């Protein structure tokens, strides 16, 4: 049977954290650069319907798509590499699969039959994999299977892959990412874990076509031959995936290893053009040779786990390259900040970012950071909860509403300057019920944001329940905090800025979700430029 869309499955063996997401994104980039429209999908074997209800300590950042899906952070990598938006269909979890099978069962779709993992769950998985290919938008769909081969949770996914390999034998391949560890006592790289991991896959009926071997040292010919022989793959399909200085080097390393060529050959696709990688190469070159350095503080409550702010730190890398500068991020725990130590902790920073978040932990520290940035004219970017803290700080210390707060923290505050959105008041479920995804925003002409974006109408992604309380807007604007971005339909305040400050901006949306290598986000670019200026002037 032939299928116009080709499917590449990426599995992982030996250990987690080998970087399946980056290998998948790099391969997709190489194929895209060769002219194939490519998308990447992540299958996550956990039972949550989406990661929206997960604490960042569990799973890192929750990435949000234009169409409002709360997803795995790997989708952020996919977008940053490909510069193509992902959607609901790009992240599937076991929770989603079971939810839809059970809904169908209740409707009577399987009337009379016993509903089972095989075929009902595996059919649903196969259906979700093929959904992205079906409408003809993509030549190649890369599907990354979360977890590690051998996990009980991922068995139905591997079974679905086995069936697809059988049903569409010319249109599917499997890339298995493994580890080739270096034993320093023996002074040798060891292939046994890779052999075992491939055996485990074989027991499940899947023969990988390509092996990507994560290694700290060079895989010489002898080792490649050994791996090829024991794992039934061709020599050119043993790909060395050496540790890279930056994730943005990986597409170039994979190009040298000819991963894309081997993939095309195995998928029976023509190797038509040579990828043109000038823009990407100039990005990585600039990344490694910055002209200057700025230090920006990131104030958040999850700073022990940097993956919690993945899109923000990547946005700084993109914006740094545009400004020919290295952005050094100083990670500052909001719980450890207060009005008495803020000057010691933040005094040397060139810029201050107050991060998004939920709940009361670390709020006082965030408010101290805002006050310090406002009073000392340090460039400031507040994102979502960070913007809300900027509003609270201004209300308390400029407008003199001493107890001003968000109703998320103090329900009965006398000055609810941040308030639960009207549409949220009737919602009781937690999963997928926030204001999510892309919304239009009109920018005030002559504002700092309109000059940063160089346009007056933008679309940005949201993830929140609380909003600026418009009853206070007049009072704020009279005193210098203006609403420079508003939703044209609802009038919700999406951006605030200070008129008498060099660069003080708070956004209710998350600009970090839209920054890519090819299109660094204008707000981050402008924020880094302002931080550079601040450094020069002081």
Instruction: Please select the residue that binds ligand GLN; options are 145, 177, 367, 384, rule is CB under 6 A.
Output: 384
Longest Cα–Cα distance in the chain: 76
Q: Assign 3-class secondary structure to 96-133.
A: HHHHHHHHHHHHCCCCCCCCCHHHHHHHHHHHHHHHHH
Question: Using CB under 6 A, which of the segments 47-55, 69-77, 147-155, 462-470 binds ligand GLN?
Answer: 462-470
513 part of the interface to ligand GLN, by CB under 6 A: no
Task: Give yes or no for a contact between 233 and 276, defined as CB atoms under 8 angstroms apart.
Answer: no
Give dist(CA 531, CA 525) in Å, integer. Answer: 10
Q: Is 436 in the site for ligand GLN (CB under 6 A)?
A: no
Q: What tokens were used for 175?
A: 């890339």
| Inter-CA distances, 474 with 172, 253, 469, 470, 477, Å | 60, 55, 11, 8, 5
Residue 312 contacts ligand GLN per CB under 6 A = no
Which lies closer to ligand GLN via its Cβ, residue 290 or residue 364? 364
Cα distances (Å, whole numbers) of residue 513 to 78, 183, 275, 456: 11, 39, 27, 20
Residue carrying the six token digits 């003809």: 136
Q: Is residue 277 a contact point for ligand GLN (CB under 6 A)?
A: no
Please tell me whether residue 463 binds ligand GLN under the rule CB under 6 A: yes
**Cα R_g (the chain), whole angstroms:** 25
Residue span binding ligand GLN (CB under 6 A) among the ranges 171-179, 285-293, 355-363, 437-445:
355-363
x-marked contacts with ligand GLN along 393-432 as a string, rule CB under 6 A = ---------------x------------------------
Minimal distance in Å, beta carbon 207 to ligand GLN?
44
Binding mask 314-353 for ligand GLN (x = CB under 6 A): ----------------------------------------
- CA-based torsion, 133, 137, 138, 141: positive or negative: negative
**Interaction of residue 36 with ligand GLN, rule CB under 6 A:** no
The only residue of 156, 356, 416, 520 in contact with ligand GLN, by rule CB under 6 A:
356
Token representation of residue 517: 């290598």
**Of these, 204, 358, 410, 479, which contacts ligand GLN (CB under 6 A)?**
358
Which of 357, 416, 485, 522 contacts ligand GLN by CB under 6 A?
Answer: 357
What is the rounded distance in angstroms from the CA atom of residue 386 to the CA atom of residue 237?
47
Strand ranges (E), 366-434: 380-383, 405-406, 416-420
- Per the annotation, the verdict on 384 as an active-site residue is yes
Does residue 465 bind ligand GLN (CB under 6 A)?
yes
Residue 365: both structure tokens together: 């520290």
What is the smallest separation between the CB atom of 408 and ligand GLN, expressed in angstroms?
A: 5
Active site residue 512: yes
Distance of closest approach, residue 435 Cβ to ligand GLN, in angstroms: 8
Hey, which residues between 257 and 276 contact ligand GLN (CB under 6 A)? none
Q: Which is the catalytic residue, given 384, 464, 501, 521?
A: 384
Binding to ligand GLN (CB under 6 A) within 97-156 occurs at: none
Under the criterion CB under 6 A, does residue 448 sit at the interface with ligand GLN? Answer: no
308-339 burial by CB neighbour count: b if 16+ within 10 A, else e? Answer: bbbbbbbbbbbbbbbbebbbebbebebeebee
- Residue for token pair 């719980």: 335
Residue placing its CB nearer to ligand GLN in the complex, 466 or 504: 466
**How many Cβ atoms from other residues are within 10 Å of residue 492's Cβ?**
20
Is 176 a known active-site residue? Answer: no
Residue 466 in contact with ligand GLN, rule: CB under 6 A: yes
42 binds ligand GLN (CB under 6 A): no
Closest CA relative to residue 215, chosen from 249, 181, 257, 266: 181
> Which tokens belong to 285?
């070159």
Whichever of 384 and 458 has its CB closer to ligand GLN, that residue is 384
- Cα angle: 46, vertex 50, 51; to 5 degrees: 85
514 binds ligand GLN (CB under 6 A): no
Catalytic residue positions? 384, 510, 512
Residues lying near ligand GLN in the complex (CB under 6 A) are found at: 356-358, 384-385, 408, 463-466
């Amino acid at each position: 049977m032939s299928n116009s869309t080709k499917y590449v499955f990426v599995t992982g063996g030996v250990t987690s954290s080998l970087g399946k997401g980056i290998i998948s994104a790099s391969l997709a980039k190489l194929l895209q650069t060769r002219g194939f429209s490519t998308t990447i999908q992540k299958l996550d074997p956990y039972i949550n319907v989406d990661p929206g209800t997960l604490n960042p300590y569990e799973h890192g950042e929750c990435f949000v798509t234009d169409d409002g899906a709360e997803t795995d952070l790997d989708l952020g990598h996919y977008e940053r590499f490909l510069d193509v938006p992902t959607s609901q269909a790009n992240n599937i979890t076991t929770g989603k699969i079971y939810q839809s099978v059970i809904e169908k069962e209740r409707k009577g779709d399987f009337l009379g039959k016993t509903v089972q993992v095989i075929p009902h769950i595996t059919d649903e998985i196969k259906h979700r994999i093929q959904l992205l290919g079906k409408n003809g938008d993509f030549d190649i769909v890369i599907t990354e299977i979360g977890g590690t081969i051998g996990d009980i949770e991922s068995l139905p996914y591997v079974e679905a892959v086995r069936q697809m390999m059988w049903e569409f034998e010319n249109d599917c391949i499997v890339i298995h990412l493994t580890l080739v560890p270096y034993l320093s006592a023996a002074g040798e790289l060891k292939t046994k874990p890779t052999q075992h991991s491939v055996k485990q896959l074989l027991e499940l009926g899947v023969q990988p076509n390509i092996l990507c071997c994560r290694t700290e040292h060079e895989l010489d010919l002898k080792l490649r031959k050994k791996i090829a022989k024991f794992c039934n793959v061709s020599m050119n399909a043993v790909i060395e995936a050496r540790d890279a200085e930056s994730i943005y080097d990986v597409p170039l390393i994979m190009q040298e290893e000819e991963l894309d060529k081997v993939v095309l050959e195995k998928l029976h696709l023509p190797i038509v053009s040579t990828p043109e990688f000038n823009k990407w190469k100039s990005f990585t070159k600039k990344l490694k040779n910055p002209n200057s350095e700025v230090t920006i503080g990131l104030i958040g409550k999850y700073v022990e786990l940097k993956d919690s702010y993945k899109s923000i730190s990547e946005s700084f890398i993109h914006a740094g390259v545009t400004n020919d500068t290295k952005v050094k991020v100083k990670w500052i725990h909001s719980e450890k900040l207060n009005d008495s130590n803020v000057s010691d902790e933040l005094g040397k920073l060139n810029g201050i970012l107050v991060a998004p978040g939920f709940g009361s932990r670390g709020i006082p520290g965030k408010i101290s950071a805002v006050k310090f940035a406002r009073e000392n004219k340090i460039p400031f970017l507040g994102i979502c909860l960070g913007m809300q803290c900027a509003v609270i700080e201004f209300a308390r210390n400029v407008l003199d509403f001493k107890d001003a707060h968000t109703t998320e923290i103090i329900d009965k505050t006398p000055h609810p300057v941040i308030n639960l959105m009207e549409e949220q008041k009737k919602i009781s479920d937690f999963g997928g019920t926030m204001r999510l995804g892309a919304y239009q925003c009109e920018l005030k002409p002559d504002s700092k944001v309109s000059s940063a974006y160089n346009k007056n109408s933008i679309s940005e992604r949201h993830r929140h329940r609380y909003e600026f309380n418009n009853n206070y807007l007049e009072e704020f604007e009279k005193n210098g905090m203006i609403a420079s971005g508003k939703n044209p339909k609802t009038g919700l305040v999406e951006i605030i800025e200070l008129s008498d400050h060099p660069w003080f901006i708070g956004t209710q949306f998350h600009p970090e979700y839209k920054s890519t290598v090819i299109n660094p986000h204008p707000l981050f670019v402008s924020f880094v430029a302002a931080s550079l200026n601040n450094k020069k002037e002081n």
